Structure 1
Amino acid sequence: MRIHSVCKRRALGWCACVVLAVGIAGCSDSNSDSSVDDGGETNALQRETAQGAVVGVEEDRQLSFKGVPYAAAPTGERRFALPQPAPRRSQRLAANAFGSPCPQGGGTFGIPSTDEDCLFLNIYTPKADGSYPVMVWIHGGAFVTGSGGANYNPLRLVDKDVVVVTINYRLGAFGFLAHPALTAASEDAGSGDYGLMDQQAALQWVQDNIANFGGDPDNVTVFGESAGGHSVLSQLASPAAAGLFDQAIVESGAYSPGQRTLAQAESQGQQIADALGCRADSDVADCLRDASVEDIVAAQAAFDFIPNTRPQFLPNSIAQAIGSGDFNRVPVLEGTNRDEGELFIAIDELTRDAAFGPDDYRPRIAAALGAPKASAAVDAVAQEYPLADYSDTSHALAAIFTDSTFACNGLAQVGALSVNVNTYAYAFADRGAPSLLPPAPSFPDYGAAHAYEISYVLNTEAAMRERGAGDDQIALSNAMIDYWTSFAKTGDPNPSAGDRPFWETFASNGNYQELVAPEPRRLSSSDFSARHHCDFWQSFGAQ
């Protein structure tokens, strides 16, 4: 029984993660109409790219360039294939609106889309000329929902003299479907991982073009949360990403470090192909490429998605790559949230409009483990997390999910990473974090839940206060922004001014930086492990 297998069980609802895109700014993506201006005099907001000029807009204290294509639309023969360069434009692009999100069914935090022409990025840069460090954000959403659009406002990062880029990438089956027919036609005897390839194409676009936007291509930090954090770890593991970034920040991306083998991903892909009527007696690859977007989005709803190993591109899983030391060795800042699981259990409660009771406890654990209710595995988990220790059943279930899926995998990862690279570990623990969702039956508030740290870095102070942040939350947010941007500038999160609590490397003393309001503090890895029952999960996962 692997620890990360808990996250793969859809029966529990814990990883029906269409909820993970996490709307941070509280507004929806607006679709670009691909408008272009008609030339004329050079505009002060004009920047040159390899595909043609783009014209941005002033937004508060920053310049923005939205809806910039970094790759060709992945349609027709380009569906289920490596991304191709965006075409050259003869006119200037008015980069004033977000491009379409990639196809998805939508959900709690994502909006539906059927537009495959979705490989866009958005650039936010200081107004003053310079050569600034670059931070490239990869959004979350369980690899099935979300975008790099209006849910994120990096103004306060830009205020610290960095350039921020947010990206879209292919999701769901479009981004991660593997199939024997696609494998047979590929150059590397593999399939799947197209969304990860999109991310690399965006990073290559940054290398080629960001200098014209005031960014330094020799100092790029890739950062992301949830599926975005998992993507960052995947890029650390992918040989094809070598040289595309210089630092990495992983927020709540530690789940499912074993990923899937190509064979496992192909097996799921065959089920999706069967649901689409693309069977062995037809040209399956052509059939998959001819299927309507609507049909694929409908067919993928019964499945979850995760990157899979693939020869040359991702020869080893995250766990294998980090454990062996065979990964892209750059400084890493990685952490998890104290109450990750509360978001998932609360959404389940909101969906069923009822709290979970004691009679639900063992069945929910059994569903998560894929084990009978009357089994030694369920007994062991229920004994380790006795209901008497929690205010209610839902909080006990949330603790199990937090610890087994995120916290203990994260502890193992930072330990393994720290053997080879400077690694900084954090535990986000502000239980007064502004809420993203309405109260659920067992959760009048969500504590330091999954995704609740994002707004501390990628939102404005005004938006945070509107959601309920107080002065202590703003103080912590300012500290986190200093840490994140200092790390992006130097590979060390400690600001040069030295006016924040010092953050040691994990290898120094095995300490986390506990991100609590108003001021961070140290937390030993032994205390973190005890808090999250990691000795239990380590022994449980080895069974």
Structure 2
Amino acid sequence: MRSHRMRTLVAALVTVAAGLVPAAAARAAEPGGTLVHTATGWVRGERTAEGRQFLGIPYARPPVGELRWREPRPAERWRGVRDATGLGNRCVQTASWDPGYEDPTYTEDCLDLNVYAPDGSAGRPVMVWLHGGGLTAGAGADIVPDTFARTTGTVVVTVNYRLGALGFLAAAGLDRAASDGVSGNYGLQDQQAALRWVRGNIARFGGDSARVTVAGESAGGRSVCTQLASPTARGLFRAGIIESGAYGDCAARSHRQARAAGAAFARKLGCDGPDAVACLRRKPAREVLDAQAGFDWGPVVGGAFLPEQPAAAIAAGRSARVPVLNGANQDEGRLFAYGAYDGQGRPLTAAGYPKALTDAFGPAAGARALREYPVDRYPSPTHAYAAAAGDQLMACPALRLDERLARSGLPVYAYEFADRTSPPFASIREAGRTFDFGATHVNEVQYLFKHFGLATPLDAEQRVLARRMVQYWGSFVRGGEPRAQGAPAMPDGRTHPGRVLSLRTASVGGITLSTTVHTEHRCTFWDSVAS
């Protein structure tokens, strides 16, 4: 008896020393609960009015010290129960006008994710959301998708990934440590690490690892486009959603361009020479962030991670063979035009309009754009410039992506968010009192989720449109065609080429199938410029 008690006591001490979850807590980890055992340890989330949420879960080791500018490593195990009721750190980025982002962050320990799971049954489809921000800003916390998860019956995961120079620096010294000999894709490799975490863990939160849709807006949508073309992402998702992310035809930097920019960046930080990488790793994050302005940060083509440009891979049928929901907003360019002109206190004038087009598109294309977008057809020169910039940057590349996907035999469902009455999203709401943003860049996000955690002031008609959009997105994530009650199905480009689902409120025409989006955005002209 004494021997048995001694063995029991020793076993109990070992359990405590190892930091394992007590038996009582383990018994509380029932399906659908807030205590969940992941591959790296226990997490305790919380229950809200919308379901369950688990915030700030590490999916990779902090990329600090010798792990800065290295491919992500799996997170280390932790002892006991990790609190998962608070958001983790944003990755290093400057301050912005977005709510909660008024101060810069210099914290590199940021590779975590958030899980929003409805109560109830297991085996739910999963959406993994990649935030926007130009690959230099933003975080998984940009959206709170708890209502979307509940109403669509899905599990939603939002992800942080490395940004700017810390996410996309390429250099000769870094190439030598890259598994494929090409550096500069750390932020996108983080995204794949998060998708691998989802594959290994999401069933414990009620999700189905075989039904994962990767989705994103702006730079997040561009990331989805890149992941479609990346062979190392194969099998990590069954579908993709690209919102305003086809800009630049999803093009990546060439290895040569990226290395040249990396060398210039190193010189700017005083890290030239044979020990440049070691010097860069010693630099505080604040200095790295301060030096990154003026450089183009994005993916790099040429290695096993991204052997060819995404557009070429898609056109040749060498991308992931998955269905895609893809679209853009009707007035994409108004946000960027406002930021360049009216938001700086110097609205564009009619006299300055021709030069603005030339500066943006070059002398030949600028002169042609002046004929395509005569200033007297628009409310202001800024709006005329916005129409040209939005069509060239976002609208026409989205339609070209539809065509490439359809020609390669993939289901591609096309939409355009066209609610010109939509309230400006939170960051520009005050500016919207004097500037007409229309259906500008980012404005559709608030119809799907709480943007920056804030409820959107939608009127009755807009709330109806929002419910329909959630139904379209939700039915696609669940594995079917995008459909909404009382509205036409989102068209498949393979069987309905050139058709786009126009998302409008009822008083301006409602949700309709359009065949004129290509013409409205003058894409014949812009396609000729791009070719």
Same fold (TM over 0.5): yes
What displacement does 1:120 show?
0.6
Letter in 2 for 1:357: T
Q: Measure the CA separation in 1 of the matches of 2:40 and 2:448.
A: 31
What displacement does 1:388 show?
1.7
Matches within 5 A, 1:187-336: 187-257=179-249, 258-280=251-273, 282-336=274-328
The corresponding residue for 1:96 is 85
Q: In structure 2, do the counterparts of structure 1 residues 441 and 53 end up closer, same or farther at CA, with 3 Å as the change threshold?
A: closer
Letter in 2 for 1:528: V
What displacement does 1:509 show?
2.0
- Correspondent of 1:536 among 516, 525, 528: 525
The corresponding residue for 2:473 is 484
Contact 2:202 2:209 (C-alpha < 8 Å) held by counterparts: yes
Q: Measure the CA separation in 1 of the matches of 2:20 and 2:379.
A: 59
Partner SS, residue 197 of structure 1: helix
Partner SS, residue 299 of structure 2: coil
The corresponding residue for 2:37 is 48
Partner SS, residue 490 of structure 1: coil
Q: Measure the CA separation in 2 of the matches of 1:290 and 1:273.
A: 12
Asked if 1:449 corresponds to 2:472, the answer is no
- Correspondent of 1:116 among 103, 108, 113: 108
Contact 2:448 2:466 (C-alpha < 8 Å) held by counterparts: yes
Q: 1:411-432: per-residue Cα shift (whole Å, max 9, x none)? A: 1100110122111000110011
Q: Measure the CA separation in 1 of the matches of 2:176 and 2:122.
A: 47
Letter in 2 for 1:268: A
- Correspondent of 1:173 among 165, 168, 174: 165
Partner SS, residue 379 of structure 2: coil
Q: Measure the CA separation in 2 of the matches of 1:442 and 1:122.
A: 34
- Correspondent of 2:511 among 495, 507, 520: 520
Letter in 1 for 2:512: R
**Structure 1: unaligned runs, 5 residues or longer:** 1-35
Q: Measure the CA separation in 2 of the matches of 1:61 and 1:441.
A: 31
The corresponding residue for 1:129 is 121
Asked if 1:408 corresponds to 2:396, the answer is yes
Q: Tell which deviates more after alignment, 113-122 or 352-361.
A: 352-361
What displacement does 1:310 show?
3.3
Q: Measure the CA separation in 1 of the matches of 2:520 and 2:208.
A: 41
**Structure 2: unaligned runs, 5 residues or longer:** 1-18
Contact 1:355 1:441 (C-alpha < 8 Å) held by counterparts: no
Q: 1:288-322: per-residue Cα shift (whole Å, max 9, x none)? A: 21111000000002223221213100011111111
Partner SS, residue 47 of structure 1: strand
The corresponding residue for 2:3 is none
* Identical amino acids, percent of aligned pairs: 38
The corresponding residue for 1:380 is 368
Q: Measure the CA separation in 1 of the matches of 2:355 and 2:178.
A: 43
- Correspondent of 1:493 among 464, 482, 501: 482
> What is the RMSD of the two structures over their aligned residues, measured on CA atoms?
1.9
Q: Measure the CA separation in 1 of the matches of 2:199 and 2:388.
A: 42
Q: 1:205-257: per-residue Cα shift (whole Å, max 9, x none)? A: 00000000000001001100000000000000000000000010000001122
Q: 1:10-37: per-residue Cα shift (whole Å, max 9, x none)? A: xxxxxxxxxxxxxxxxxxxxxxxxxx99
What displacement does 1:350 show?
4.9
Partner SS, residue 196 of structure 1: helix
- Correspondent of 2:489 among 502, 505, 520: 502
Contact 2:116 2:149 (C-alpha < 8 Å) held by counterparts: no
Q: Measure the CA separation in 2 of the matches of 1:299 and 1:334.
A: 34
* TM-score w.r.t. length of structure 2: 0.90
Partner SS, residue 24 of structure 2: coil
Q: Which has the higher contact order (CA 8 A, sep 6+)?
A: 1
Partner SS, residue 347 of structure 1: helix
Contact 1:346 1:443 (C-alpha < 8 Å) held by counterparts: no
The corresponding residue for 1:399 is 387
What displacement does 1:287 show?
1.4
The alignment covers a number of residue pairs equal to 495
Partner SS, residue 240 of structure 2: strand
Letter in 2 for 1:246: R
Q: Measure the CA separation in 2 of the matches of 1:48 and 1:74.
A: 24
Contact 2:424 2:432 (C-alpha < 8 Å) held by counterparts: no
Asked if 1:85 corresponds to 2:74, the answer is yes
Contact 2:131 2:138 (C-alpha < 8 Å) held by counterparts: yes
The structure whose Rg is larger is 2
Contact 2:405 2:412 (C-alpha < 8 Å) held by counterparts: yes
Q: Measure the CA separation in 2 of the matches of 1:56 and 1:40.
A: 18
What displacement does 1:94 show?
0.8
What displacement does 1:491 show?
3.8
The corresponding residue for 2:458 is 469
Matches within 5 A, 1:130-149: 130-149=122-141
Letter in 2 for 1:187: S
